Homo-oligomer: A and B are copies of this chain.
Amino acid sequence: MVNQSHPLDDVFHALSDPTRRAVVGRLLKGAAPVSRLAEPFDMGLPAFMKHLSVLETSGLIRTEKRGRVRTCHIEAARLAAAEDWLAEQRAEWQGRSDRLAEFVESQNRKEPKA
């Protein structure tokens, strides 16, 4: 498990925390400076900056600094990558459930109740 990490590793890790999920939700409404983003959270700025760092490493957000203001932006494509992976899994699952339902149905047709 010490091999190269997959981008999804970092994305799902970033999403495994409620503060980081809330930041993602907020940034989907529009870019925001760090100071405004931090306001709703009951934690010190250093702790909050660590969360932003995890989000930035995952590629879910990018930040830019102009003068003294650092602004955060969502990177929706990376969020879509996580959703795509889950959608693929669901398709696999649904395909299997459909095949199972077809099989049960075909068995029912073969063996009508006496």
Contact = CB atoms under 8 A, between A and B. Distances in A.
Interface of A: 1, 5-6, 8-13, 15-19, 21, 24-25, 28-30, 43, 47, 74, 76, 79-80, 82-83, 85-87, 89-90, 92-93, 96
Chain A interface secondary structure, helix, strand, loop or mixed?
helix
Contact of A9 (B16, B30, B93): B16
Number of copies of this kind of chain in the complex: 2
A74 B93 contact: yes
A54 to B, nearest CB: 11
Given A8-B18, A12-B13, A12-B15, 18 more contacts: A1-B43, A6-B18, A8-B16, A9-B16, A12-B12, A13-B13, A16-B16, A25-B89, A28-B89, A28-B92, A29-B96, A74-B93, A76-B90, A76-B93, A79-B90, A80-B90, A83-B90, A86-B86
